[in-house]
Structures are given as C-alpha cells and as structure tokens.
Amino acid sequence: MRAVVARPPTAGAELVDAPNPGLAPGRVRVRVLEVGVCGTDRDIVAGEYGEPPAGSPALILGHENLGQVAEVGPGTSGLAVGDLVVATVRRGCGRCRFCLANRSDFCETGEYSERGIRRADGYLADEYVEAPEYLVPVVPALRSVAVLLEPLSIVEKAVRMGLAVLDRKEPTPGFPRTGAPSALVAGTGAVGMLAALVLRIRGFDVVAIDRHDADVSGELLGVIGARHANVRDGVGALGGARVDLVIEATGSVPLDFDLVDVLGPNGVLVLTGIPDADAPPTTVPGGALFRGLVLHNQAVVGSVNANRTYFEAGVRDLRAFEERWPGLTARLISSRRPMERWAELLVERPAGTIKNVLTVGPDGSSAEGAR
Ligand code: BGC
C-alpha cells in the first residue's frame, strides 16, 4: 500500500510502498479517505518531534483522519463494512489508572503511543487496522467535515478543562450572571476556529485574535457572531479587554504570557499550542504574574490530546454547527490535495489557510459525496 513516512529524528518524508497491515480477530480494516495536516506533522517532518514504532526506522505519518470500514475481523461487533469512522490518536500505557479507564490523554507514566506521532504508525496510508474501541462512527451527513473531528476533539477537551475551572464560581443561587460569558481564542487555525464555534454554541461572546488582518477566518468569525482582532503588536491592541476564558492555539511563548493579562477575575487560560522546547528564553515579571493569578483566582492549564469521549462530543457539535450555520464548517477546509502532493502541506503551511487535507481514497467531500 502507499504510505507517507518520516524517519524522526531525521528530517524529511517520502511516499513509499509499505506492507498492508494484517487483519486479526477483533480488529477492523479501515480504508483511509482523508488525512488533515497540522503543525505537529510538520514538526515531525522537520525532525523536531515524533518517534517511530519500536524496532522500525520509519513512522507512517498522519493523525487527523477519516476512513471507511473495509473489512471486519471475526469476533468484532458494533461496526459494519462501509461505516465512516475517525480513529482516536493515543494508545494507553496499559498500566496507569487513567489509561486503564480509557483516558490515556491523562496518562501518568508517559509510556503511551500516538498513532502517526509517537511509537505507532499513523493514517497517511491506503489503510490501517485498528480495534473498534478506538474507532468513532460518523454519520454520512458529516462526510465533508469529519476530518476535522480530531482537532475538534482537542478543542472539546480544552473547553471542558476551562469550564471545569470556571464552574468553581457558577452558579451562585439567587445571583445569576448578567450578560454572556466572554472568551478569547488565540490563533485562527483549525483549532482556534473550531474553538470559536464551540464557544459560540455554548453561549460565549467570542473574540479571536491572530497576527494578520481579517481574511477568510475573519469572515467566518463574523458569520458566527464572533469578532476578529489583529494583535500583531501585542494584546494591548485589545484595549484592556478582560475575559472569562482564553483558549490558546498558537504555541507562541511570548503570546502565552501576554494572554494572562487578558484574563478577568476568576478567569482561566487553557493552553493547547505546543511551543518549541528550544524557543528562546523569555524574561517575565514573575512577581506580578503570580501575584495577579493569586489575587484574582486565575488559572493557567495545559491540555493535550483527547480521549474517545471528546471525539463523541465533537460529533454532536459538528451536527450542532451544521444546524446553526449550514455549510460553514466545511469552509474551514481550505484545500484538498491527493496524498502524492504531501510535500506541499507537510513542509510549510500554505499562507492564509485554515485546514489543509490530503485525500487518500476517492474524494467524496463534494456535495454529491456528502449525503
Ligand atoms: C495531536 C494530539 C497529540 C499532540 C501531542 C497533537 O497535534 O492532535 O493528539 O497528543 O499533538 O503529540
């Protein structure tokens, strides 16, 4: 089968002919339809992240995925040939209490693997084999947007983390909040844009920031009733606005510190962008920073990966997005190209794009394919 592989920590990638994975009892063979490309994939191709499976020099790339069940092994239940599925990414260590409870996104040993990223092959290949517990069914009506489910699962978890902290102060019986809660989303890539959608559905006033003037992302934000702001010169451009919740999706260290200044009293900043570990050291006024966090009950929390429950929440929200803003979610996908053109997406992110997708199987993303 065709597969795009990298050899971390060596930079580079190539399209190769790889052996088809064998089907075993209790497993499902999935024909890959689409794979989304993100910064993590580009970091792996740059040789800065990722790890091949044990004993192999090569790692099949791809973790944002959509596929179709092609064959069901004996003793498998719950899925049938033809079903659309999105596979989760992380596989647990098999030892810690979180992994044993299907919550490997909180793995305590660090001995997890992640398909397409760390110690396990990914989905940028003609097919893969997996156990049904890691395959999330998607209804055909969501065919054209389902490749966004993995980044949406990251958002679902991050928002849940934020709301868990915000819930400390809600509700106060007899003293209901006046006005909508407010949120700021940092970054208008797929994670940032999906966060804006989720937060609008949850009733937040939303401003989304990035470092360029409003383009298609700004237009889409306008449609969902969110605001776009260019903060190229820092969050001071927001004029001292303070919000309840910040969802960060940039991985920019200086911005991470700036975002603390945007928090209102009792606010929470959830970080999802993964900064470069070799980012230049930053000098921060630590006293003022921590003093502010304490005096205002604020929290800064990191959030990585997502377990199956967040993929399932994402399926519900994809439907909610379609109901509220028909056709809008599909516009987050800026381009689709055949997997042979992997190099156009896995080296640099094309400017001005939100989510770029490699098509592996037949392109059924058009209106005709999306039943
Ligand atoms: C993926 C997550 C993963 C993280 C760290 C992200 O790009 O979406 O599933 O846990 O990278 O490897």
Nearest-CA residue for atom 1 of ligand 1: 305
Q: Give residues with Cβ within 8 angstroms of 321, minimum separation 6.
A: 145, 197, 201, 328, 329
Residue 298 lies in a domain: yes
Q: What is the pLDDT of residue 25?
A: 97
Residue 236: which domain range?
Answer: 154-302
Point out the ligand 1 atom lying closest to the alpha carbon of residue 118: 12
Q: How far is the CA of 114 from the centre of ligand 1 (A)?
A: 8
DSSP 174: T
**Residue 291 shares a structural domain with residue 239:** yes
| Ligand 1 binding site (Cβ under 6 Å of any ligand atom) | 38, 40, 63, 89-90, 114, 117, 150, 154, 304-305
Contact call for residues 161 and 303 (beta carbons, < 8 A): yes
Number of residues written out for the chain: 371
Q: How far is the CA of 319 from the centre of ligand 1 (A)?
A: 24
Q: Which regions in the chain score pLDDT beneath 50?
A: 367-371
**Residue 92 shares a structural domain with residue 195:** no
Q: What is the pLDDT of residue 364?
A: 64
Nearest-CA residue for atom 9 of ligand 1: 305
Q: What is the pLDDT of residue 365?
A: 66
| Residue 311 to residue 308: CA distance in whole angstroms | 5
Q: How far is the CA of 295 from the centre of ligand 1 (A)?
A: 33
Q: Which helix (H) or strand (E) holds 153?
A: helix 149-166
Which of 302, 317, 340 delimits the end of a domain?
302
Query: Looking at residue 340, which CATH number applies to its domain?
Result: 3.90.180.10
Contact call for residues 208 and 324 (beta carbons, < 8 A): no
Q: How far is the CA of 303 from the centre of ligand 1 (A)?
A: 10
Give pTM, 2 decimals.
Answer: 0.96
Q: How far is the CA of 110 from the centre of ligand 1 (A)?
A: 14
Is 227 exposed, middle or buried, given 0-12, 13-18 or 19+ CB atoms closer than 10 A?
Answer: middle
Q: Amino acid identity, residue 68?
A: Q
Contact call for residues 6 and 50 (beta carbons, < 8 A): yes
Which of 284, 302, 320 delimits the end of a domain?
302
Residue 172 lies in a domain: yes
Contact call for residues 360 and 65 (beta carbons, < 8 A): no
| Residue 229 to residue 186: CA distance in whole angstroms | 10
Report how many domains make up the chain.
2
- What are 252-283's pLDDT values in tens digits? 999 999 999 999 999 999 999 999 988 899 99
Query: Which residue out of 89, 148, 157 has the highest number of ligand 1 atoms within 8 Å of its CB and is therefore the one to mutate?
Result: 89
Query: Which residue out of 48, 63, 115, 271 has the highest number of ligand 1 atoms within 8 Å of its CB and is therefore the one to mutate?
Result: 63
**Residue 342 shares a structural domain with residue 283:** no
Residue 369 lies in a domain: no
Nearest-CA residue for atom 2 of ligand 1: 305
Q: What is the pLDDT of residue 76?
A: 95
Residue 366 lies in a domain: no
Residue 309 lies in a domain: no
Residue 144 lies in a domain: no
**Residue 110 shares a structural domain with residue 8:** yes
List phi, psi (to 5°) of 357: -130, 140
Q: What is the pLDDT of residue 366?
A: 54
Residue among 192, 262, 18 at smallest CA distance from 121? 18
Q: How far is the CA of 280 from the centre of ligand 1 (A)?
A: 23
**Residue 98 shares a structural domain with residue 49:** yes
Nearest-CA residue for atom 12 of ligand 1: 117
Nearest-CA residue for atom 4 of ligand 1: 305
Q: What is the pLDDT of residue 286?
A: 95
**Residue 212 shares a structural domain with residue 336:** no
